[in-house]
Amino acid sequence: MKHTANENTTQTLTRLIKALDAKHPVTITYVKSDGSTTIRTIEIYDIVVSAAGDILLKAMDRESGESRSFRLDRLVSYTVHRTEYTVARPASDEPKARPAHGLATVTVLYPVDCPITARVQMLADALAA
């Protein structure tokens, strides 16, 4: 188990991008908006940056089978598993739903064949812009 307090955002993001690339589920301890803590096993399918500058993990929740978004800065700890994804994700050709009022997201695209460190740097550059 990795505690996010013991590593910087780049290290956490690098490990989560690796999990996304390898299609490995991740168990997270997460602080919800009301301050309570929850533990979920998720299957990440996208990482985006919101208009407010927050890094969001878009993932399928294994318990409910629904798509959820998690802010990276609210992760307390995480464990990357060695198993494979089991929950069906939204089809890539489905039209994406419009964000709710006051919440806009920006998808950061990065080449798949690019090394992890280069992709993390591209994401960091996009955040700085």
Q: What is the mean pLDDT of residues 71-87?
A: 93
**Whether the predicted pLDDT of 93 surpasses 50:** no
pLDDT computed for residue 97 by the predictor:
57
Section 29-33 average pLDDT: 94
Treating both helix axes as pointing N-terminal to C-terminal, what angle do 9-22 and 116-128 enclose, rounded to 10 degrees? 130
Please determine, for residue 102, whether its predicted confidence score (pLDDT) is greater than 70: no
Q: Kindly tell me the burial class for residue 91, based on how many C-beta atoms sit within 10 Å of its own C-beta (0-12, 13-18, 19 or more).
A: exposed
pLDDT grade for 108, boundaries at 50, 70 and 90: low
Residue 34 corresponds to which tokens in the numbers above? 């009301």
**CATH (one of 1.10.10.10, 1.10.600.10, 2.30.30.100, 3.40.50.720) for 2-84+104-128:** 2.30.30.100
Q: What integer is the mean pLDDT of 91-103?
A: 52
Q: Are strands 37-50 and 105-107 parallel, antiparallel or unpaired?
A: antiparallel
Q: Which has the minimum average pLDDT: 9-18, 28-37, 93-102?
A: 93-102
Give CA–CA dist 129/112, Å, rounded.
22
Percent of the chain residues past pLDDT 90, beyond the cut: 48
Residue 107 has pLDDT above 60, yes or no: no
Residue scoring higher pLDDT (85 or 120): 85
